[in-house]
A and B are shown apart, each in its own frame.
Chain A
Amino acid sequence: MIRIENVSLSLQATPILHDISLTIPKGGVTALVGPNGAGKSSLLSLIARLQPLQTGAISIDGLPVDTTPNRTLAKIVAILRQDSVVASRLRVRELVSFGRFPHNRGRLTDTDRTIIEQSLKQFDLTDLAGRFIDTLSGGQRQRALVAMAFCQGTDYLLLDEPLNNLDMYYARDLMRSLRQVADGNGKTVVIVLHDINMAGAYADRIVAMKSGRVIADGAPAEMLTTPVLQDVFGFAMQVATINGKPIVLHHL
């Protein structure tokens, strides 16, 4: 369980997050949505202890993120940042292998190798495994980064806009993989999404943020309605129902 209590954040004297309290139970997929600048990435960075906590408290499985040793947390929570840049010339397999570092501190075991190969296969990277990252396309690189986060094998997975650069095939593929690890392995996934229909189709719960606050929170069926979406995103969008599921026609 991720417990966020009265968390506020200011950067350079500008308030970014205002008194956020949120509980994310263990297991399942939670989508974090909201307009640009709402504070989604900032909240994720705080949970993943990349940004020091200023006020309030955050704990994962009862471990406070600000006082628990970094090495311990690295085995519990993995994060994929929105703007990860890999400037090093590493091969795909090498990069993905580093996801196992928290567990093996650099000495690969057979279990590690199995998990690495599995992650490569899961994201269709086996053929690219020997290529240098800087020779890949944007979407291929993104898949390598997701595979690395997966490889870390943590109970909690925080993904900041992992669908960036992915084509429809791989976007759907990734969402299905997330669903699978949540249902099959009991993992907890928190994912920032801009594609509201992806959130509706794959998440158990949608948390909407705006201007540094959580302004709506509920199951997809409650969230994908014209009034809620207008509140969050600031314009009216039609919501159709196809096969009993809400589909947002946000592009019209």
Chain B
Amino acid sequence: MIVAASKKPLRFGVVAGLGLTILFVSSLFVGVSDLPFRTAFSDPDALQLLLVSRLPRTLAAVLAGAGLAIAGLIMQTLARNRFVEPATAGTAQSAELGILAVTLLWPAATLAMKTLAASGAALLGTSIFFMTAHRLPPSQPFLVPLFGLVYGGVIGAGVTFIAWQADLLQYLAIWTNGDFSGVLRGRYELLWVGALMVALAWFVADRLTIMALGRDASIGLGLDYAGMMRIGLIIVSVIAALNVVVVGMIPFVGLVVPNIVSRIMGDNLRGTIKWVALSGAGLVLGCDIIGRLIRYPYEIPVGTVMGVVGGALFLWLLFRRPAHG
């Protein structure tokens, strides 16, 4: 519910919005092939490069980042634990298992079908995670992420083993480490389904805020707790699966972005969910640009850059005490 806002969120909003705009424009003009700003729209070759490669790549980063941040936010809301995210708690690994199974059993499957299989597997894997996580004693909040790590690790190990047996390890690397360098027009559009999921999350933002108050409070306020749980799980699974299939999993986004926004603006999701999406988009896009520049003219995958940047942000979050106000 919208209630009077203070100045801090406004400042955050301006910074995040402006930052994303700058990153978006920069992303269009940073890369191996030269694309001078002046000729971008007059030279047909340059325009072609912009439309076929740079713009899709930039949009893919924005969509992936926004989606992953929202998926992390929802997972944290449903688990009532700030330290879980799809990349570590078994969702991404289950999606990998799903796409691996399809690749093995039905190699002719289209990207959309693979995504569907990955989503189904992610949904199953995430549901099992939640069924177990809800049994863990709430007095020990670190058990939930710890269990998630072990659970995701076990599934991930299984995936690696099968991929190794089937000689598909190089495919696995594509799914497990996010990389936008292969993104071209016609190869990323599925990610727009992720945008739909983000919109759905926005639509149910008030309900999600109530879900974060726990089962009893949700039922007391007349919420369909089980139904909302299902909606949340579907959003998380579809977004994670899309990312695994289209660009490969990117770690940390779902973990650090919702936490930073919560520190600054609180957890009233009706007001904050758009900033979570925006910041996630900015973070992933920023990391992709860094990856393109740091060893120019070679590229470092965004997943690797995020491993460093996200890890540093996470440590900073852990050691910095929550702001009060």
User: A residues within 8 Å of B by Cβ?
Assistant: 45, 48-50, 70-75, 78-79, 81, 84-91, 93-94, 97-102, 105-106, 108, 130-132, 134-135, 152
Contact of B221 among A88, A98, A108 (CB under 8 A): A98
Beta-carbon contact of B220 and A74 below 8 Å: yes
Inter-chain contact A89/B262, CB cutoff 8 Å: yes
Indicate if the CB atoms of A50 and B220 lie closer than 8 Å.
yes
Q: Are B222 and A73 in contact (CB under 8 A)?
A: yes
Q: Say yes or no: is B212 at the interface (Cβ < 8 Å to chain A).
A: yes
Q: Once A and B bind, how many residue pairs between them come within 8 Å at the CB atom?
A: 91
B210 A98 Cβ-Cβ under 8 A: yes
Give a binary string over B205-216; 1 marks a CB under 8 Å from any A CB, 0 the rest.
Answer: 011011011111
CB distance from A26 to the nearest CB of B (A): 20
- Contact between B213 and A88, CB atoms less than 8 A apart: yes
Q: Does any Cβ of A come within 8 Å of B135's Cβ?
A: no
Question: A98–B220 contact, CB under 8 A?
Answer: no
**Is B44 interfacial (CB-CB < 8 Å)?**
no
Residues of B within 8 A of A49 (CB): 219
Also in contact, A91 and B216, with CB within 8 A (given A73-B222, A97-B1): no
User: Judging by beta carbons under 8 Å apart, are B80 and A87 in contact?
Assistant: yes
In the complex, the answer to whether A88 meets B219 with C-beta atoms within 8 Å is no
In the bound complex, how far is the Cα of B322 from the Cα of A93, in angstroms? 20
User: B210 near A101 (CB under 8 angstroms)?
Assistant: yes
Determine if A101 and B324 form an interchain contact, defined as CB atoms under 8 angstroms apart. no
A100 CA / B325 CA spacing, docked (Å) = 24
B3 on the A face (CB < 8 A): yes
Q: Is the CB of A130 within 8 A of B6?
A: yes
- Pairwise interchain contact B209-A90, C-beta atoms closer than 8 A: yes
Cα separation A99 to B209 with both chains bound (whole Å): 12
Listed by A's residue number, 30 A-B pairs whose Cβ atoms lie within 8 Å are A49-B219, A50-B215, A50-B219, A73-B222, A81-B216, A84-B216, A86-B213, A87-B214, A88-B212, A88-B213, A89-B262, A89-B263, A90-B266, A91-B3, A94-B266, A98-B1, A98-B210, A98-B213, A101-B1, A101-B206, A101-B221, A106-B1, A106-B206, A106-B207, A108-B1, A108-B2, A130-B4, A131-B325, A132-B325, A135-B325
CB distance from B293 to the nearest CB of A (A): 36
Say yes or no: A94-B1 contact (C-beta < 8 A), given A88-B209, A101-B206, A106-B206: yes
Could you tell me the distance between the alpha carbons of A99 and B1 in the complex, rounded to whole angstroms?
Answer: 11
In the complex, A209 Cα to B58 Cα: how many Å?
65
A75–B223 Cα gap in the complex (Å)? 12
- CA–CA, A72 to B219, complex, Å? 11
CB B236 to nearest CB in A, in angstroms, measures 18
Q: Is the CB of B268 within 8 A of A94?
A: yes
A sample of 17 more A-B contacts (CB under 8 A), given A89-B267, A94-B266, is A45-B216, A70-B222, A74-B222, A79-B220, A81-B216, A84-B216, A84-B217, A85-B214, A87-B80, A88-B267, A91-B3, A91-B266, A93-B4, A98-B221, A100-B1, A105-B206, A132-B266
Given A88-B267, A90-B266, A98-B1, A75:B222 Cβ within 8 A = yes
The CA of A134 and the CA of B262, in the complex, are separated in Å by: 12
B224 CB-CB contact with A under 8 Å: yes
Q: How far is the CB of B177 from chain A (nearest CB, A)?
A: 33
Chain A hits for B274, CB < 8 A: none
> Which residues from A are CB-within-8-Å of B3?
91, 93-94, 97
A89-B266, A93-B3, A108-B2 given; A74·B212 CB < 8 A: no
| Chain A minimum-CB-distance residue to B267 | A88
Chain A: minimal CB distance from B321 (Å): 12
Which chain B residues lie closer than 8 Å to A70 at the CB level?
219, 222-224
Distance in angstroms between the alpha carbons of A100 and B139 in the assembled complex: 30
CA distance in complex: A130, B160 (Å): 50
Contacts A97-B3, A101-B210; is A50 near B216 (CB within 8 Å)?
yes
